[in-house]
Structure 1
Amino acid sequence: MHQSPALIKKKNIMKKLLFPMFFSLFVVLNFSIFVTFARTNLNLTTDEESLLAFKSRITRDPFNILARNWSTMNGASLCFWVGVSCSRRNKRITALDLHGWNLEGTIAPHLGNLTFLRSLDLGSNSFTGRVPEELSGLRRLKVLNLGANNLTGTIPMFLGALTELEQIWLNNNSFAGVIPRMSNLSKLEIFRMSYNSLHGTLPQEIGNLSSLRGLGLTHNSFSGTIPMNMCDNLSKLNILALSLNSLSGVIPSNIYKCKSLEILSLSYNEFNGSIPKEIGELTKLKILYVGTNNIEGAIPKQVVNLTRLKLLDVRYNKMTGEIPSELGNLKLENLNFFSNGLSGSIPVSIFNISTLRGLQLSFNHFEGQLPRNMGISLPNLEFLDLAGNNLNGAIPVTINNASKLVIISIANNSFTGTVPNFTNLRHLKWLFLWKNNLAGELRFISSSL
């Protein structure tokens, strides 16, 4: 096709104008790709250097996990190193799991450079020293498990700023001081700091952690009272473990607002007052452990509404009154009223709880006789302790039907008559009968006592 001189001239001008533009765009795109590639390589190098710095702080690796596997010599990607997980897209480290390898050493601050880390699990090792402040850079972190080590110092203040945290495991260490502010941790589900040397009062703001499912602060030195409104926003809480502290005051009546509770452990403190009747509204409760306090008053009848209850332990308190007979309708496995001031007769219904493995009613003021068929409905009973009461009459021969018994303690009562034979109790190891008015000979099978 013939083109006019004017059209040819116009095309040449366009080429001169567009070529520099396309060339510039080509340079920019390639430079951008180069920078991205360089930055990715730099980040991967940073991750690798961080892990190698961590490895250099390990003083003992009994299984040679790191010594054998964490190396650049074999050419393997760090994403294939033991305990390391990476994202698919950019191959950045998202998880470091070295749980239970008995590693010794200190935690390298370089781990704070693993900015894509979502889970850090160094639990069940022997790390010492403090938690490095540099871990405050782990803004994506959801799980932090440093439990069961030998870490010291205070609980890091920066934890309250890691707003993505869902689980904090710092239990079984030697941390001291107080619990730092946690009000920003709206996603926190597990908060375990048991078996440390923490002190101070329980922070009011714990009650605002509405996602919380497990709170474990057992075996510390916390004092003061349980915040009265703590359960107002903790409807998801399954476990509340505050045993072995120096907490005092009463058990809050609005404990029922922690409606998902399955385990309530308040033992070995200085609580007083009575067990609130509202506790009967915790219909998911499986374990109620309030032993070794100064609790008084009667056993609230509302306890019989706890149809899922497996363990009821009120040992070493000042409870008075009688055992509600309706308690026998529960499928308890362990019932412990040791050393209280309970009185009256032991309800026959208690001896019909076929799921019972442990029955401990010693050192109260129970009186009367044991039911004649007491052993027939106790096929799982292993521990029977009725010592130190005012029980009388004969020891039922049907006790021989509770064939899994390992311990029988009925000393310090007023039992009379002949000692029954125990020839069916092949697992029996301990038998305490003294300070009664019993006669006859003890008879066991050869593998028994």
Structure 2
Amino acid sequence: MERNLPLCIVLALLVPFSTLSLVNAEVTDISTDKQALLALKARISHDPSNLLANNWSTTTSVCSWTGITCAGRHHRVTALNISNLALTGTLPPQLGNLSFLATLVIKNNSFYGSFPEELAHLHRLKYLSFGFNRLSGGLPENIFYNLPNLEFFSLPFNMLQGKLPSALSKCKKLQILSLSFNYFTGVIPKEIRILTQLKRLLLNNNKLQGMI
């Protein structure tokens, strides 16, 4: 004899599956990446070759845009490389929404303004290169607590200042640290010595003091 389950039990069984579907939809949705990149495009005031102006179009797939690499099971943006394009602009906080990003390279441009604290959200980030720009201000201490996979961190030839964050020591996988030709001051953090994977440390042409 068949028995009908009460409605409340049926709903209880269905809710977890519907929630899982919603979560999966959010994970595989690349629209978040698209909006973050469009926010970056909107912050660029000079694009002499009109490369991003013409190529980063809302009518085409993000994964086909210049400088963008998509990969992984969810086919999300894993690399952003817009180096050597003579771009002028600032870095938007929305870059922190590129949650699958492993490589972030904007070297040899004219980006100015502060280093976005929101990059602390990029937990998968391994490679960051912002050298040869005009970034100013200090390095936010908190970001280094949240970048456990960071291996390459390069910011030479900018206008950064302030003290070097001791939290750099939290990036246990760091192999290259290049901060030359900036305006950093104060004592070199002794905590850097615990970075056992470090292969190259470039701090020259700053106003640092002390011994490593």
TM-score w.r.t. the length of structure 1 is 0.44
Task: Name which of 199, 208, 211 aligns with 1:222.
Answer: 208
User: Looking at CA atoms only, which structure, 1 or 2, has the larger radius of gyration?
Assistant: 1
- Render the CA deviation track for 1:104-123: whole Å, top value 9, x for unaligned: 00001110111111111111
Percent of aligned positions that are identical: 39
Question: What residue is the counterpart of 1:169 in the other structure?
Answer: 154
Task: Name which of 163, 175, 182 aligns with 1:196.
Answer: 182
Alpha-carbon distance in structure 1 between the residues aligned to 2:19 and 2:184: 52
Question: What residue is the counterpart of 2:50 in the other structure?
Answer: 64
Residue correspondences, number: 210
| Aligned CA distance change for structure 1 residues 159 and 44 (closer, same or farther; 3 Å) | same
1:52 is displaced (CA, Å) by: 0.5
Question: What residue is the counterpart of 2:64 in the other structure?
Answer: 80
Matched position secondary structure for 1:205: helix
1:79 is displaced (CA, Å) by: 1.2
| Aligned CA distance change for structure 1 residues 198 and 24 (closer, same or farther; 3 Å) | closer
Alpha-carbon distance in structure 1 between the residues aligned to 2:97 and 2:128: 15
1:144 matched to 2:128? The reply is yes
Alpha-carbon distance in structure 2 between the residues aligned to 1:21 and 1:106: 53
Matched position secondary structure for 1:94: strand
Question: What residue is the counterpart of 2:73 in the other structure?
Answer: 89
Question: What residue is the counterpart of 2:32 in the other structure?
Answer: 46
- Render the CA deviation track for 1:204-232: whole Å, top value 9, x for unaligned: 122111100111111111223x23xxxxx
Question: What residue is the counterpart of 2:86 in the other structure?
Answer: 102
Question: What residue is the counterpart of 1:129 in the other structure?
Answer: 113
1:20 is displaced (CA, Å) by: 7.8
Task: Name which of 70, 94, 98 aligns with 1:114.
Answer: 98
RMSD of the TM alignment (CA)? Answer: 2.4
Matched position secondary structure for 1:152: strand
Q: Is the 8 A contact 2:134 2:158 kept in 1?
A: yes
Task: Name which of 7, 13, 18 aligns with 1:31.
Answer: 18
Alpha-carbon distance in structure 2 between the residues aligned to 1:199 and 1:96: 31
Alpha-carbon distance in structure 2 between the residues aligned to 1:221 and 1:86: 40
1:99 is displaced (CA, Å) by: 1.4
Alpha-carbon distance in structure 1 between the residues aligned to 2:72 and 2:39: 24
Q: Stretches of 4+ moved more than 4 A in 1? A: 17-30
| Aligned CA distance change for structure 1 residues 223 and 36 (closer, same or farther; 3 Å) | closer
Q: What are the within-5 Å matches in structure 2 for residues 46-445 of structure 1?
A: 46-73=32-59, 76-161=60-145, 162-181=147-166, 182-224=168-210, 226-227=211-212
| Aligned CA distance change for structure 1 residues 208 and 64 (closer, same or farther; 3 Å) | same
TM-score w.r.t. the length of structure 2 is 0.89
Alpha-carbon distance in structure 2 between the residues aligned to 1:57 and 1:77: 20
Alpha-carbon distance in structure 1 between the residues aligned to 2:31 and 2:14: 26
1:93 is displaced (CA, Å) by: 1.3
- Render the CA deviation track for 1:164-202: whole Å, top value 9, x for unaligned: 111110110011111101221110000000001112122
1:40 is displaced (CA, Å) by: 3.8
| Aligned CA distance change for structure 1 residues 201 and 20 (closer, same or farther; 3 Å) | closer
Q: 2:22 is matched by which residue type in structure 1?
A: V
1:60 is displaced (CA, Å) by: 0.8
Structure 1 unaligned spans of 5+:
1-12, 228-449
- Render the CA deviation track for 1:333-357: whole Å, top value 9, x for unaligned: xxxxxxxxxxxxxxxxxxxxxxxxx
Alpha-carbon distance in structure 2 between the residues aligned to 1:53 and 1:139: 20
Matched position secondary structure for 2:156: coil
Matched position secondary structure for 1:198: strand
Q: 1:157 is matched by which residue type in structure 2?
A: E
Alpha-carbon distance in structure 2 between the residues aligned to 1:27 and 1:208: 50
Comparing both chains, which one has the higher relative contact order based on Cα–Cα distances under 8 Å and sequence gaps of 6 or more?
Answer: 2
Alpha-carbon distance in structure 2 between the residues aligned to 1:155 and 1:173: 12
Q: Is the 8 A contact 2:120 2:142 kept in 1?
A: yes
Structure 2 unaligned spans of 5+:
none
- Render the CA deviation track for 1:132-159: whole Å, top value 9, x for unaligned: 2111111211111111100100122134
Q: Is the 8 A contact 2:117 2:143 kept in 1?
A: no
Question: What residue is the counterpart of 1:258 in the other structure?
Answer: none
